Structure 1
Amino acid sequence: MKQTLKILVVDDNEVDRMAVRDALTKAGVQMELFEVSNGNDAFSALSTTAYDCVFFDYRLPDQHGLTFIQQLRSSKIKVPSVVLTAQEDEQITVQLIKAGTTDYLSKSKISPEMLVQVLRSAIRIYWAETQAALVNQQLRESHEQLIRKNQELERQQQQIQMQNFKLLEVSQLKSHFLATMSHELRTPMNAIIGFSQILFRSKFGQLTHQQADMVERILNNGKHLLMLVNEVLDFSKLEAGRLDLKAEIFDISKVINLAVSEMRSLADAKNLSLLVQTDLQNTLVFNDPVRIKQILINLLSNAIKFTESGEIWVEVKELSASRVTIVVRDTGIGIAPRDFKRIFEAFRQVDQTITRKYPGTGLGLAIIDSLVRMMGGKIFLDSKLGSGSMFKIELPRQIRLFTEAADAPDVQLDGDDIFSSAKNPHHSSSKTR
């Protein structure tokens, strides 16, 4: 031991104190040795001075050694302690160790070697216990912090859950409101469109050019507003899970051509070429023709809206006997890669400002995405700014209706089904402009 140790010896027998002092000196321990003869003086010394170790007699004149150790513990005085016993008594030893004594040594075995060994052992055990106690204290504090943090997290989770419930309630109210208002708005809009169409009939009198132009504007704006209202209604139904597909067997090429013909006037107004190409071995599918037409009209509407010059192509072809694909390409302004996912979000538009050049609800692509997923299909986007966009939709030839009755017939449209030669005995490939 190279450092100087402060050692306290507590014993009423001067000979025993001398034996300890001589043994430590012969062992070469660098120390400051202090001696007292009773427990009260020892307690006073330990209360004011920090010692590296204390040797004390088991039987002090004023108190029992066990009482002395308990007094130190109750006063929270911590020091390595070695009790010196006149006789070896295992029971006494166990009691002292339990009370907090670091080690013990029989006075009959005091020697330089033994005393140094016990001294080193006592100091090491004391510091090991001190470090362990420190670690345990840190663990307890960490555990308490974790408990407090968990309680705070639970409180925050409860708040978030309450907020989610409120948001869910608001969302349900919003969906109900949108559905109700959409129904309420459709009635007067249908009346406006109907009366506008009636005004064009010759039996109600010939309109002047200016009157006809104004009525046509009313009719076109009424149709546009009705389309926006229908989008909101469809979205509210999709969001509430109340929109069902009404599937039937139909000729998909006819539905495609019908949708294109409805949108051709808008393309012609912007001097855009609108091309259609159908390449199907079998044009019959089992799907919802109204929703297929809606998907295509929304895609064509976007293509026409965002294309100032050039062409728009619609291509329908087979991927396999059980899947078909519909592709709509344009030469419009294109879409930046960072916006690919965002444009399929509800109410999301690339330009969100009120002064944006291209108006709309921002629901068209969100509705398309939801309908395609309901049909068990996939939608793909390929676009480049300034070069145009391509939307490709892959659909099963026969969709599955999860709400259909268990005994509904299973319609087969691929292979040797009954429709494979009824209407399309030959390969169908057409291109119209």
Structure 2
Amino acid sequence: MEETLRVLVVDDDEVDRMAVRRALKKASLPMELSEAVNYAEAIALLKTNPFDCVFLDYQLPDQDGLILVRDARQLGLLVPLVVLTGQGDEQIAVELMKAGATDYLSKSRITPERLEQVLRNAIRVYRAEMKVVVANQQLRESNELLKRQNRELELQRQQIQLQNLKLIEASQLKSQFLATMSHELRTPLNAIIGFSQLLLRRSKGTLTTSQMDMVERILNNGKHLLELLNDILDLSKIEAGRLELKPEPFNLNHIVNATVEELRSLADEKHLSLQVKVEPPDVQVVNDPSRLRQVLVNLLSNAIKFTEAGGVWVNVSLFSSDRITIIVRDTGIGIAQEQLKQIFEPFRQVDQTTTRKHPGTGLGLAITDSLVQMMQGKISVESQVGKGSTFRVDLPRQLAFPCPPMASETLFNLNVNDSSEVS
């Protein structure tokens, strides 16, 4: 069932209005007709009533149809306007269409069929235009929304950038402080270690057993603090891209066994088994022996530190003709799955509580990971809480020359000018 159309007829001539009214009633369209005899009545009705179409005479007593069309459009009245005139002036038709008229029809051509056709076309065109208007309005609103969102995103980007700059600056200040303090502590610390060693060598028989124990404690704590300072300096150089590898050919078996023997006393103190296996025993590699030893020391000392019973195993083998694999396995406390992705981050420790049993800075694994990456290798870990951990390091047998320093992607960028190590 077709909707009832609301149509307004504007004409001061009763005869002409009747002719239009009769013709529209004969059309096969349900409609409701309203009438106005001049410009003022027409504008008043258009402002207060929604019409589907308006038929208006060009010659009105108070204004002509062109003025009515222009004013209706200026008022934002969106309705099809069909102008009826007794004249056939094409120039008038052009002006009417430019002003916003939907169609133009000579009164001499009015018939029920013609009016129905004009009415249908006017409404169809009007509705199509309204769809375009609505679409354009939605597009404008979408564009405005997009502009607002872009402005908000740009503001957020600027705020984030500013925050990042502040974080970087704060991190650099903190890191510079750590590096400076590490350097400043070297001199008195080396003096403490040196005098402690001198006392132990030259004071045999002159110091009591209790005094000798105290000197040994001073020496051991001094060495431990020295290791921490070395870790901080190493991390600072890595983060600043100032640490360089010095590759040279050497026997891998010698380095591995020498490192294991250095740490065997730590395992013996805890009654742990420490076993090593290198196959084949005469593997020649080209790497930085000092830094490879550092990787082994970090992995082995961690394994021993976090193992209370059982043992630690080191297995070194040829993964292929041009790659080696180092595996360090322990029966220690293990690492929870949710912590595995974090253990290679600086200052991260498995136990972060203030009452933790295993002291340390949390730098060892971060340095190890960075060194392995500099050696063009990778490190991985598998672990179960309460059962132990297995660290695997895959390295090329021969490093590419030269070995570029690695600039870290973290925020801990340090300005380290001293390239020497604490010793």
| Partner Cα separation in structure 2 for residue 116 and residue 268 of structure 1 | 108
| Partner Cα separation in structure 2 for residue 284 and residue 207 of structure 1 | 48
Q: Which residue of 1 aligns with 2:417?
A: none
TM norm structure 2:
0.90
1:244 partner SS: coil
Q: Which residue of 2 aligns with 1:91?
A: 91
Is the Cα–Cα contact under 8 Å of residues 374 and 403 in structure 2 kept in the other structure? Answer: no
Q: Which residue of 1 aligns with 2:351?
A: 351
Is the Cα–Cα contact under 8 Å of residues 80 and 101 in structure 1 kept in the other structure? Answer: yes
Letter aligned with residue 345 of structure 2: E
Is the Cα–Cα contact under 8 Å of residues 6 and 31 in structure 1 kept in the other structure? Answer: yes
Letter aligned with residue 349 of structure 1: Q
| Partner Cα separation in structure 2 for residue 198 and residue 122 of structure 1 | 110
Moved more, 51-60 or 307-316: 51-60
Is the Cα–Cα contact under 8 Å of residues 349 and 362 in structure 1 kept in the other structure? Answer: yes
Q: Which residue of 2 aligns with 1:35?
A: 35
Is the Cα–Cα contact under 8 Å of residues 175 and 240 in structure 1 kept in the other structure? Answer: no
Moved more, 4-13 or 293-302: 4-13
Instruction: Give the deviation of 1:273 after TM superposition.
Output: 1.0
| Partner Cα separation in structure 2 for residue 305 and residue 270 of structure 1 | 9
| Partner Cα separation in structure 1 for residue 209 and residue 237 of structure 2 | 42
Moved more, 367-376 or 306-315: 306-315
1:63 partner SS: coil
| Partner Cα separation in structure 2 for residue 134 and residue 200 of structure 1 | 94
Map 1:408-423; keep pairs closer than 5 Å.
none
Instruction: Give the deviation of 1:329 after TM superposition.
Output: 0.9
Ranked by relative contact order (alpha carbons within 8 Å, sequence separation 6 or more), the top structure is 2
1:395 partner SS: strand
Q: Which residue of 1 aligns with 2:416?
A: none
Moved more, 15-24 or 31-40: 31-40
2:59 partner SS: coil
Letter aligned with residue 180 of structure 2: T
Map 1:90-109; keep pairs closer than 5 Å.
90-109=90-109
Is the Cα–Cα contact under 8 Å of residues 175 and 239 in structure 1 kept in the other structure? Answer: no
Letter aligned with residue 150 of structure 1: N
| Partner Cα separation in structure 2 for residue 283 and residue 381 of structure 1 | 24
Is the Cα–Cα contact under 8 Å of residues 281 and 318 in structure 1 kept in the other structure? Answer: no
Map 1:9-24; keep pairs closer than 5 Å.
9-24=9-24
The number of aligned residues is: 404
Is the Cα–Cα contact under 8 Å of residues 307 and 333 in structure 2 kept in the other structure? Answer: yes
- Give structure 2 stretches of 5+ with no counterpart: 405-423
1:344 partner SS: coil
| Partner Cα separation in structure 1 for residue 4 and residue 13 of structure 2 | 25
Is 1:252 the counterpart of 2:252? The answer is: yes
* Per-residue CA distance 1:260-280 (angstroms, 9 max, x = gap): 122111111100011111112
* Per-residue CA distance 1:196-219 (angstroms, 9 max, x = gap): 111111456433221122112111
| Partner Cα separation in structure 1 for residue 189 and residue 276 of structure 2 | 32
* Per-residue CA distance 1:95-124 (angstroms, 9 max, x = gap): 222211122222222111221221122223
| Partner Cα separation in structure 1 for residue 46 and residue 202 of structure 2 | 119
Is the Cα–Cα contact under 8 Å of residues 245 and 401 in structure 1 kept in the other structure? Answer: no
Is 1:371 the counterpart of 2:387? The answer is: no
Map 1:118-267; keep pairs closer than 5 Å.
118-202=118-202, 205-267=205-267
Between the two proteins, what is the percent identity of the paired residues?
62
Q: Which residue of 2 aligns with 1:409?
A: none
Instruction: Give the deviation of 1:250 after TM superposition.
Output: 2.0
Is the Cα–Cα contact under 8 Å of residues 253 and 282 in structure 2 kept in the other structure? Answer: no
